[in-house]
Amino acid sequence: MEYGFSKTVSLTYEKAIEKVTEELKKEGFGILTSIDVKETLKKKLNVDFQKYIILGACNPTFAHKALLNDEQIGLLLPCNIIVYEKDGKTHVSIFDPMIMMKIMEDEVIRPIAEEVKKKLDRVLDAI
């Protein structure tokens, strides 16, 4: 199963994170969480890992609408974006909010997920 949509970019890892953050902001998203997986694995397990970050992005307007409809949807929030380096290339992957429709059949949530997907598609296109 595909969980999201991805792209290999010509930016450095650090620049890709900056660009993702900038493009998310243009679409009304903010970064709620930032997990540096490489740093965390080194600190907790003393193992080396490639550059890899998980960004938890949230659009407050859409999150509010979804939460008003179903408090349990918080289990599926925020939208995660990963940026990582592999084989000298930088990759960006974004969680597809339409996956929620495979978990829940909710016609109130569907248009919210569709609009969020459009915004996230634009973010990936702009990188």
Residue 68's domain is classified under what CATH number?
A: 3.30.310.70
Count up the domains in the chain and report the number.
Answer: 1
Q: Which two tokens stand for residue 28?
A: 């009304």
Tell me the β-bridge partners of 53: 36, 83
DSSP for 44-106, please give it: HH------EEEEEEE-HHHHHHHHHH-GGGGGG-SEEEEEEEETTEEEEEEE-GGGHHHH---
Q: Is the pTM of this model over 0.85?
A: yes
Residue 1 has pLDDT above 80, yes or no: no
Give the model confidence (pLDDT) of 20-43 as tens digits. Answer: 999 999 999 999 999 999 999 999
Q: In what order do the strands lie in the sheet with 89-95?
A: 4-9, 89-95, 79-86, 52-58, 30-36
| Three-state DSSP state, 119 | helix
**Which pLDDT belongs to residue 78?**
94
**Which pLDDT belongs to residue 32?**
97
**Which pLDDT belongs to residue 84?**
98
**Which pLDDT belongs to residue 49?**
97
The domain containing residue 49 runs over which residues? 4-126
Give the model confidence (pLDDT) of 51-92 as tens digits. Answer: 999 999 999 999 999 999 999 999 999 999 999 999 999 999
**Which pLDDT belongs to residue 106?**
84
**pLDDT-based confidence at 115, cuts 50/70/90?**
very high
